[in-house]
Amino acid sequence: MARSNLTVRVLAAAVFGPLLTVLFFWGGSALFFCLCVVVAGGAWEFYRMCTEKGLQPWTKFGIAASLAWCLGVFWKGREAMPVLLTGLVLLGLVMALSGESGSRLHNLSATLFGVLYVGCLGSFGLLVRNFFLPGWSEQGAAIFTVLVLFGIWGSDMLAYFLGRWLGRWHPFPNLSPGKTGAGFVGALLGALGVILGGVYGFGLLSWAEGVGLGVLIGVGAPVGDLVESMMKRDTGVKDSSTVIPGHGGILDRFDSLLFVFPLVYLYLLFLKAMG
């Protein structure tokens, strides 16, 4: 990466990193509106990539449905998801009846998948922030959510630097030629380091639970990034957009979050059930 581009990337992270940290710590309406911005922008980028593939997704409907999904989860939690999914499928089928061009089934599939990928997965940030294991306080839930966020960033950063220094083997050359085996090891070590440091500092989880969470983030973050790279490779675009200086688009920056937070929520449900 050119030095000038790296400087822009670092400056952008210095601005958006603290802002996201504060919003995820506060939770509530502040986090909801933040995620709405991310979801709306991410959905627009996803449908933009679909058009590069020759599809004609219903962009306005998909963005509105993604925001409605986040609103439903913000209002009623996970209990809203079955209703949202049912309504999404039924309304999508009705929309397909009025389609006038292209393949209606392909366009319907692309539109609905965009809502699930960006809107549904994005809403799990709210669910994790509002999850309380036994003994957790409001502050504990806030610290845990920020710790997950830092774990994702730690995974991304160590994957980047270790991949550049030691990366020789490229396990997915057709999907993401820049990804290396050393980068995947760095992602795992970075997440484990951050999460275990948080376990030592705050004691919200046991050491075994912390290792499980670190492994989950360390594996989930690069897989989420790889999934978005697959989408870009399939649609023939380099970046999902250029709205974030030095980082590309919203999906380029939040792809790991979209993948990790649902996994973390499932992990919390598991810990609660086992508790």
DSSP H or E run through 84? helix 81-97
Question: In degrees to the nearest 10, what's the CA dihedral of 5, 7, 10, 13?
Answer: -70
Six-digit token pair at 191?
A: 């997440």
The span from the CA of 51 to the CA of 233, in Å, is 14
Non-local CB neighbours of 174 within 8 Å, separated by 6+ positions = 233
Mean pLDDT of the chain: 90
In this predicted structure, the answer to whether residue 223 has a pLDDT above a threshold of 90 is: yes
Output the pLDDT for position 17. Answer: 86
Q: Is the pLDDT of residue 101 over 70?
A: no
Give percent of the chain above pLDDT 90.
71
Strand partners, 244: 248
- Residues 44-79 have pLDDT tens digits of 999 999 999 889 999 999 999 999 999 999 999 999
**The pTM is what?**
0.92
Categorize the per-residue pLDDT at 100 as very low, low, confident or very high, splitting at 50, 70 and 90.
Answer: low
- Please, which pLDDT band fits residue 175 given cuts at 50, 70 and 90? confident
The pLDDT of residue 5 is above 70: no
- Note whether 186 and 161 are within 8 A (CB): yes
SS3 state at 157 = helix
Please compute the mean of the pLDDT values over residues 218-227 and round it to a whole number.
95
Q: CB–CB of 248/242 below 8 Å?
A: yes
Rounded CA separation 118/246 (Å): 22
Rounded Cα–Cα distance for residues 156 and 111 (Å)? 29
